[in-house]
Structure formats: structure tokens, C-alpha cells
Amino acid sequence: MSESPLPLVETLARLDALIAAKSLDRDEVLDARALSGRTAVPEGEIRALLAGEAPRDDKVDDRIRGRVRALYEAYLAESGKRPADVCREVAARLGISDKWARSLLNGDKMPNVPDLTRLAEFFQIHQGTKFFTDPAAVALNGALQHTLQELEGSGEDGPLLKFTIKHGVVTLALRGKRLTPRKQEVLALMLESLLSGEEAER
């Protein structure tokens, strides 16, 4: 039986202890903008939770609509597609009209459970509908579990840890594999080279 995720307060306490022990920059390790992108929780709310403030009260309907809209806006920015084209794709996937798809994606209408499930599939959200319904503190805690595992599994100056902090990467999914320090170094160099190549092409 797998261990239950730690409550956010305990997760942050453990992260802060590791950050201090490794002399890391908290704002870089706990990048609010990157965490907001991963969770679709507004950046201001992420910053408040990271600062130890109590979660704000919200209605689950507002939460769901807000996260659908955040995913849609991020998808538009990343894909470079036109809003009308994305609406058509979503409408086809959900079996609804373009107009209704636009209302859902803009956060104007509340999706039903089947539509929410298909939206999770469309945006490739592996948590499924929980991604949209979990309270902000739960969503953030889930995202921070990956960061915690990386910090706990890295050495004092682990090359993968340095790489993720430098490039604002919230997590590297290694599918549970433990890499030796040498393999971490090789992987970090390879990823660094790939990213440098992309920047040079721009």
C-alpha cells in the first residue's frame, strides 16, 4: 500500500529543511509560476500557499471553470493554434457544438462529468477529473511531492537538481528509477545541450 501524500504544511516544512540543508534558493526551487502552470491554480494563490497562508474559500464550480480556462489559455500559448481551431477540436472530441465548446473553454459554462473527463484527456491531464476538482492546497501538495522526491533523492550538488532549478523545471519524470550520480550528470549534460541547441535556433 502506497504512503498517503503529506499535507501541504508538512510537505513545505520538509522542503524548507532540504532547501536550507542544500543551500538552495527557495524561490527557484518552489517556482510559483511553474507550479501554477502545472496545477492551473492562479500564481497569486500559489504564492500565498507557499508563504503559509490559509487556503481561500472557493466553490468547486468556480474552481473547475477557472482551471479549464487556465488550461485552454496555456494550450493556446504553447500550441500557437487559433482559438477557433481549438474550439473545433474540443467540440469534435466532446461531441458538442463549437459555441458550447467555446463557452466551456472560456470558463463561462460548467462542464458535466463526461465532458470534464474528455477535457482531461484532450489536455493530457493524467490525474483525470481530480485535476479540476481538488482544492488548491491539495493540487499544490501533489505537485510538490515530485519536487520533494527529487530533493530527497539527490546529492548535495546533484546535477539533475541543478538542471531543473536552472531551467525552471518543476519535475523530471524518471518513472521511479534511481540514477547514479554519473548517469545524472550525463543526462543533465544531454538535456542542457538540447535546450542550448533550441535557443540557438531561435
Residue 12 in this model has a pLDDT that exceeds 90: yes
Please state, rounded to an integer, the average pLDDT across all residues of the chain: 84
Using CA of residue 179, residue 38, residue 48, residue 44, what is the dihedral sign? positive
- How would residue 190 be classed by pLDDT, with cut points 50, 70 and 90? confident
For the chain, helix (H) and strand (E) counts, in that order, are: 12, 0
Does the pTM surpass 0.75? The reply is no
The pLDDT assigned to 179 comes to: 55
Express each pLDDT in 37-46 by its tens digit: 999 999 999 9
The pLDDT assigned to 52 comes to: 92
Distance CA 125, CA 69 (A): 14
Express each pLDDT in 129-185 by its tens digit: 999 999 999 999 999 998 898 888 754 445 555 565 555 554 454 544 455 556 666
- DSSP readout, 90-142? HHHHHT--HHHHHHHHTTSS---HHHHHHHHHHTT-TTTTHHHHS-HHHHHHH
Ordered domains of the chain (ranges, CATH): 8-55+135-201 (no CATH), 60-133 (1.10.260)
The cell for 142 is: 501533489
At a CB cut-off of 8 Å and minimum separation 6, what does 135 contact? 55, 58, 63
The pLDDT assigned to 184 comes to: 61
Q: Degrees (nearest 5) of the Cα angle 75, 34, 60? A: 70
Q: For residues 72-98, give the mean pLDDT.
A: 96
Given a contact cutoff of 8 angstroms between Cβ atoms, the answer to whether 101 and 91 are in contact is yes
